[in-house]
Structure 1
Amino acid sequence: MQHRTVFEVMTHDVVTADPGTPFKVIAHLFAEHDISAVPVIDENRRILGVVSEADLLRATAELPDLEGRWAGVRLLSEERGMPDAETAADLMTSPAVAAQSSWSLVETARTMHRKGVKRLPVADETGRLAGIVSRSDLLKPFLRRDSAIRDEIAHDVLVGTMRLAPEAISVSVAEGVVNLTGHVDERADIPVIVRLCRWVDGVVALHESINYTYDNLALDVEQPR
């Protein structure tokens, strides 16, 4: 049983900027490619930061950043003699939050949620830009057919991994919701089965009605001979 990594769902052909890319060029990139952020990379494709639409707006409208600090580049330039934000180097959020190409979709989704971002640049094992992943990319596994989900659970999880007889547990899937019905010898197998099935790509929810012969979770029950 294999689980998708972020490498399998990310966009590989990435629109990028270098540190010297002008403000207006970045704005044109957003409009031309219908995107809302670009990774900023050096000559070796190492990720230096990310420029988003929010970064452009903050630079022109003098809005606070996500942590409540005033980014107001134009305001600062007037009061302190600092230059306006003219290039990607001035605008970008750095260091960039990046995913690793080997990350699971769950790990990637958690990072996006924790950092409050809609997309992440993806780095390969050398730290170079490999792609970019968005929230919509992470939802791609949920487009799997119910029949494909059912076959993976029945064959790969229950028979292949758990070594159960094919008739031990019945599997049905409707709109990504899995129902398991059947019987196992040991009660301790049930939470393992549930956990493995939930890991299958495309599973929205899981319900089980599995009986058992031996309650090996109860310490006062002697295992039958």
Structure 2
Amino acid sequence: MMSTNVVRVQRGTFLKEIARLLTEHRISAVPVVDDDDRPVGVVSEADLLRKQLGLTALLPAVRQESDHRSKTEATTAEGLMTSPAVVAYPDWTIVEAGWLMQARSVKRLPVVDDSGRLAGVISRSDLLQVFLRRDRAIQEEVLEGVLTRTLGLSPSAITVDVSDGHVMLSGLVERRSVIPAAVRLCRGVDGVVEVSQRLQYDVDDSTGGS
């Protein structure tokens, strides 16, 4: 669901150039990266507007190297950025990304890989597009992609019902340990809001099972 063609800037990028990029690409914020392409902060259109209007007192307090410099005097990304950057990870679900956006009041989240390098960006519009995915498409990916191809389950033994992104799994699996794995993988499917299950099993292979 993330966009991989990411507009980014360096610490030394001038604010006028950032404003141009935001306008040209019709985005609300841009990640600031270091020389290794690791996000160190974010500059948003709100940051630029506050500076322009002299309302930097409304900016959230953050710890950064340039704390001693007034944001009203900032001329580059380093002086105005909110740091550290609030980031997401590629294996996150849309629910996790959406929750973080809501909790931190941001419209865009840089996505970083295992080494901390910028891999993409998730926006609110990206999340909305995922939520608009049809239930039938979700059902097909869960049944054919997750349960059949990934977990090797028989499609005739599992029923997948989807309503407004809510997935219900029912049927019979051979081993009990498959159930939590199935639920976890289904939650990662684009468009899935929540997963419930009424699965039964033949063999209890869980710890302490008989």
What is the TM-score of this pair, normalised by structure 2? 0.67
Contact 1:100 1:122 in 2 (8 A): yes
Alignment of structure 1 residues 121-140 onto 2, 5 Å: 121-140=110-129
Matched residues, percent identical?
46
Q: 2:7 aligns with which of 5, 9, 15?
A: 15
Post-superposition offset of 1:184: 7.0
Q: Equivalent residue of 2:10, what SS?
A: coil
Show the 5 A alignment for 1:58-207: 58-63=50-55, 64-65=57-58, 67=60, 84-154=73-143, 156-157=146-147, 166=156, 171-173=160-162, 176=165, 199=187, 200-204=189-193
Query: Is the contact made by 1:22 and 1:86 (CA closer than 8 Å) also made in structure 2?
Result: yes
Structure 2: segments with no counterpart, 5+ residues: 63-68, 201-210
Evaluate the alpha carbon distance shift between residue 152 and residue 20 of structure 1 in structure 2; reply closer, same or farther with a 3 A threshold: closer
Q: Paired residue for 1:3?
A: none
Over the aligned positions, Cα root-mean-square deviation in angstroms equals: 4.0
Which runs of no fewer than 5 residues in structure 1 stay unpaired? 1-8, 70-75, 213-225
| Structure 1 residue 16, shift from structure 2 partner | 1.5
Q: How far, CA to CA, are the matches of 1:100 and 1:204 in structure 2?
A: 18
Taking the aligned partners of 1:98 and 1:205, their CA distance within structure 2 comes to: 23
1:46 and 2:38 are equivalent in the alignment: yes
CA distance in 2, matches of 1:46, 1:89: 14
CA distance in 1, matches of 2:81, 2:186: 38
- SS of the residue corresponding to residue 121 of structure 2 reads strand
Q: SS state of the match for residue 122, structure 2?
A: strand
**How many equivalent pairs are there?**
193
Preserved contact between residue 147 and residue 182 of structure 2 (Cα < 8 Å): no
Given that 1:18 and 1:40 are in contact with CA atoms closer than 8 Å, whether structure 2 keeps it comes out as yes
Residues 135 and 162 in structure 2, CA contact (< 8 A), matched pair in contact too: yes
The farther-off stretch of 31-40 and 59-68 is 59-68
Amino acid at match of 1:65: L
Counterpart for residue 29 of structure 2:
37
Distance 2:105 2:48 in 1: 17
Deviation at 1:37, TM superposition (A): 0.9
Question: CA deviation digits over 1:163-192, x for unaligned, max 9?
Answer: 6883x7755545546577x7779xx9xx97
1:26 to 1, 18, 23: 18
